Structure 1
Amino acid sequence: MLSSSQAVTGATSTPGISALEDSTASVWYSATVSAMSQTALLSRSDPASPEVDGLGVALGSVDTPIGTLQLAATSQGLVRIGFGYMETREDMMAELADLPCSMGQGDPDWLVEPITQVREYFDGSRRWFEVALDWRLSHGFYRQVQDALMTVEYGTTVSYGELAHMAGSPGAARAVGTAMSTNPIPLIVPCHRVVRSDGSVGEYGGRPEVKTWLIDHERAHRD
C-alpha cells in the first residue's frame, strides 16, 4: 500500500500544470469536437436555444502525483475529467462530441478555477471542491448515485452497498459499481471513496494503486 507521500509508479512526482505559461498555451480548444457536433446541433428543433447557442468546450491538462489529468469544461461548468493512463485526448473529444456544442470555441477561463483547485487538492490544502459542474454526461440512476456520492466526506470511505442505500436503492451494489465506472468527473465526484464491503479498495480503471494513493492522501490531510 502506498503512503500519502509516495507517488504512484510511473506518475509525475511533482504536481503542476502542463505548459501553463499563458492562457492560450495551457488550454487547447476542441474545434474537432465542435465540428463533429454541428450535425447534432442543426438537427435540434430550436438550434438558437439559449441552452446551446454559443456553447463550446475548452480542454486542458494538469500533472499530478497520480499522472496527467485531462479536464474539459463548458460554460455550465466542469464536464469531464479523464486519467491520462486510461484515455487520450482523442478519446475524450469523441465522447464530448455527443454534447450539443456550437461551432464556437470554449473559453480558457472556464478551466482556471478547476485546475487551481485540483492543484490545491493534491498539495493537501483543499478538502472539498467549489466548482460548477456540467452533469450532461450523467443520467438517470447513475446520476442519482453520483449525487449521493457527493455527500461522502473527504478522508472517509463507504462500501458499494452503503452507497446504494444512500442513493435510495438498497441491494443495488453491483449497479452502483457500474455508476462508479462511468463517473464522468472522477476526483471531484469522489468514486475513489467507495470500497468493497471487506475494506479492499477494488478496481479503479485497472489501477487500484491510484485509488489507494487517493484514499491515503486524504486520510493524511483530513485533520
Structure 2
Amino acid sequence: MRWAYVESPIGDLAYALDDSGLCNVHFGGRPGAPLGTDDVADQLRAYFAGSLTSFDVKLSVTKGSSFERAVWDQMLQIPYGETRSYGFVAAAVGEPGGAQAVGTACNRNPIPVIVPCHRIVGADGKLVGFGGGLDRKRILLELEANVKMQLDWS
C-alpha cells in the first residue's frame, strides 16, 4: 500500500492505493505520507473546489461483509448533493429494519468521501453519526448543496 494525502476544507485526508486501486481514505494525515500528486489527489482537490461531482477512481475494497458491501454500493447510488436516510438504505439493500446496521456499515466504510457515507442522514433529515465527526459531515453536505444549487441554476 502506498499512502499520500491532500489538504482539504475538512482537514488533511490521507488515502492509500494498492495495486488494484484506492483502498482507504483516512481523516487526518498519515505520518510520512507525501502530498498526493496522482489522479486520486487531483479528483479530491477538484471535488473540494466544487468542480467535480462524480469520482472516477478505481476502488479496491477487499474487506467487509456482504451486507456492508451492499450498503457501500448503495451509497454510490446516492446522487451528488442529495441525502438518503439510514432506513431508506436499509430497505434498498433488502433489510427494511436494518437502519442501525446501515449505520455500522457506514462507520466501517473504508473510503469515506469518495464512497459518500456523509450523504446518509437520520429519518428526520438530521445529521447523525459520521466517523469523521458531524462538523465534517456538515461541511461536505453544505459543499455539495451549494455546488448543486449553482449547477441547477446556471
TM, length-normalised to structure 2: 0.89
For 2:30, the equivalent position in structure 1 comes to 89
What SS class does the counterpart of residue 72 from structure 2 fall into? helix
Higher relative contact order (CA 8 A, sep 6+): 1
Greater than 3 Å deviation, 4+ residue runs: none
- Counterparts of 1:27-176 in structure 2 under 5 Å? 57-84=1-28, 89=30, 112-176=38-102
Give the superposition deviation at 1:119.
0.2
Give the deviation of 1:75 after TM superposition: 1.4
Residue 171 of structure 1 and its aligned partner are, at CA, apart by 1.1
SS in 2 for 1:122: helix
Q: 1:111 Cα deviation (Å)?
A: 6.7
Counterpart of 2:105 in structure 1 is 179
CA contact (8 A) 1:152 1:158 kept: yes
Q: How many residues align?
A: 146
Question: Percent identity between the aligned chains?
Answer: 40
| Contact 2:119 2:141 (8 Å CA) reproduced | yes
Give 1:89 shift. Answer: 3.2
SS of alignment partner, residue 162 of structure 1: helix
Cα 1:206–1:136, aligned 2, differ >3 Å: closer, same or farther? Answer: closer
> Which structure is larger by alpha-carbon Rg, 1 or 2?
1
Name the Cα RMSD after superposition. Answer: 1.7
How far did 1:203 drift? Answer: 2.1
Change (3 A) 1:206 1:116: closer
Q: Which residue of 2 aligns with 1:101?
A: none
1:169, distance to aligned residue in structure 2 (A): 1.4
Gaps of 5+ in 2: none
SS in 2 for 1:78: strand
